[in-house]
Structure 1
Amino acid sequence: MKVDKVTDHIVTWLKDYAIKANVKGYVVGVSGGIDSAVTSSLCAMTGLEVLCVEMPIHQHHDHVTRAQEHIKQLKSRFKNVTDVRSDLTPVFDTFIENMPDIKDSALVDLTRGNTRARLRMTTLYYHGGVNGLLVAGTGNKVEDFGVGFYTKYGDGGVDVSPIADLMKSHVYQIGKYVNVPESIMDAAPSDGLYGAERTDEDQIGASYDELELIMNEITNGKKESDFTGRMLEVFHLYSNLNKKNQHKMNPIPVCHIPKSLF
């Protein structure tokens, strides 16, 4: 990948889109992870207004530290970058206190994780609305179009997706090019919804390198019979998640009424 050219292309695309939309710039949720660090850096490089938002919900110290380090570094490099902290912990706790108890712990964990993501989406749109900014998404290609590893109407609820055509490895290449802090570059990817000790690989069951390899191979026409061993396991994992999460990737189904019924 021509990292410099791809970076310039995304920055130009972001700037042109914002100008045509008649907005001041972008708001980005900064989590302390590589995807949000790269996205906020690319937005900053447009020269337009960029608001970085921290949204802790019982957040692990490591995530908070990395997010703050990145924001501090970004503000020192770009005068168009500002930040705000919206502590959603009391909001989340109040919400959960007013919800009925559910006996299935697996469903509770998943639903509460998705609820965190949706509270953050609402917060980003609030900051975007009052400041005349668009919400920039932080999903990459493997997450958004491979295994659907994101929350519907949570981190999937955005105005633009600047890095959604980049594999995770590409995101890291751009991260290095735009000087994302080493602490973020070296950290194990985690969505932060279930504690820092629970990584994306733990949740998905495969590393991004493995998923990226399978996604590329399938795109190039490879089938189940072409894989063996661990790669066959990852093929099945990827295929099942891709099928299961099509409801996130496809447009909302519309029930079309036959004209004869009107």
Structure 2
Amino acid sequence: MSEIQDIIVREMKVKPTIDSKIETRQIIQFVKNYVQSHSFITSLVLGISGGQDSTLAGKLCQIAVNELKEKDIDCRFIAVKLPYGEQSDADEVEDALEFIQPDEIFTVNIKPAVDQSVQSLKNADIILTDFQKGNEKARERMKVQFSIASNTQGIVVGTDHSAENLTGFFTKYGDGAADIAPLFGLNKRQGRQILAYLGAPSHLYEKVPTADLEENKPQVPDEDALGVSYNHIDDYLEGKPVPSEVKSIIESHYIKNAHKRELAYTRYTWPKNQTNFE
């Protein structure tokens, strides 16, 4: 393993292998500990897309909430459906919700808000590309979740895992924004492994991952957008050797998207070896 791979693996906290039972209990306990350490929290809020990551995070949060209720701690899990108009995989969202069994379900169609935002920018001569509009959708979805969390004295749960964190495959201040990220430390295959352990319907974790934010290119697989497969990313994160061209792509994503993994920089935090320009 090269020096940079070693640095990335240590930063992303991915283990070479996991025990599903142990990992599941550790994540659930983390969620419970966080809730119990913050007396204002009475809800966990998460958008459910019908994909692997939100299904896993949702199920683990519902289990955590159920266990908190057994201790007479007032908390509920709120699942949020966030379609942009008609969602092509809406049936899988329903399957995910059936598996999770959330305490509460809200539905907010983000299309009117996104379209109005895009139009308002257009009125100011700022024309968004299809890709940029996709980021508007991601940020609107997160805005809705934070509004619900604020209204219910809750926090927003993120679905960011280490394969996604490494590549920066999320929208800054969109799906990358959350109060807690319980899946961090897992790669994609480990998430599938835990869902299988929890008894999730296989089609929810075997489906091709896609952000599905662009209208001109609907349902584009994540792996096509990234230029590398999750299997290779997972191998890399587990410290295994990968082809040199794959290694270059992964490390390029890591370096290019470093800003997404940081809070806003201050003059005291960026960079350590700052060059002073006159």
Interval containing the TM-score (normalised by the shorter chain): 0.7 to 0.9
Provide the rounded CA distance (Å) in 2 between the counterparts of 1:251 and 1:59: 34
The correspondence for 2:31, drawn from 14, 26, 30, is 14
Q: Which residue of 2 aligns with 1:3?
A: 20
The correspondence for 2:78, drawn from 36, 51, 54, is 51
Provide the rounded CA distance (Å) in 2 between the counterparts of 1:91 and 1:246: 30
Unaligned runs of 5+ in 2: 1-17, 67-74, 269-278
State the Cα distance separating 1:59 from its structure 2 match.
5.0
Map 1:183-222; keep pairs closer than 5 Å: 183-194=203-214, 196-217=218-239
1:134 pairs with 2:155: yes
Map 1:98-177; keep pairs closer than 5 Å: 98-100=120-122, 108-144=129-165, 146-177=166-197
State the Cα distance separating 1:124 from its structure 2 match.
0.3
1:70 pairs with 2:87: no
What is the aligned length? 238
What are the superposed Cα offsets for residues 57-99 of structure 1, whole Å, 9 maximum, x if unpaired?
145422x211112113322xxxx62111000111111111122
Provide the rounded CA distance (Å) in 2 between the counterparts of 1:142 and 1:89: 29
Provide the rounded CA distance (Å) in 2 between the counterparts of 1:36 and 1:131: 20
Indicate conservation of the 8 Å contact 1:74/1:81, yes or no.
no
What are the superposed Cα offsets for residues 82-130 of structure 1, whole Å, 9 maximum, x if unpaired?
1110001111111111222667xxx712211111111011100011111
State the Cα distance separating 1:235 from its structure 2 match.
1.1
Q: Which runs of 4+ in 1 moved over 4 A?
A: none
Unaligned runs of 5+ in 1: 257-262
What are the superposed Cα offsets for residues 168-189 of structure 1, whole Å, 9 maximum, x if unpaired?
1110011111222222122101
Backbone CA RMSD of aligned residues: 2.0
Partner SS state of residue 250, structure 2: helix
2:77 alignment partner AA: V
Query: Bigger shift: 247-256 or 39-48?
Result: 247-256
User: Identity over aligned residues, as a percent?
Assistant: 26
1:255 pairs with 2:267: yes
Provide the rounded CA distance (Å) in 1 between the counterparts of 2:190 and 2:103: 24
Report which of the two has the higher share of helix.
1
Indicate conservation of the 8 Å contact 1:214/1:234, yes or no.
no
What are the superposed Cα offsets for residues 17-58 of structure 1, whole Å, 9 maximum, x if unpaired?
111112113111100110000000000001141000011114
Partner SS state of residue 42, structure 1: helix
Q: Which residue of 1 aligns with 2:256?
A: 244
Partner SS state of residue 27, structure 1: strand
2:174 alignment partner AA: G
Partner SS state of residue 209, structure 2: coil
1:109 alignment partner AA: D
TM-score normalised by structure 1 residue count: 0.85
Indicate conservation of the 8 Å contact 1:148/1:248, yes or no.
yes
Q: Which residue of 1 aligns with 2:273?
A: none
Partner SS state of residue 78, structure 2: strand
Provide the rounded CA distance (Å) in 1 between the counterparts of 2:86 and 2:60: 25
1:89 pairs with 2:122: no
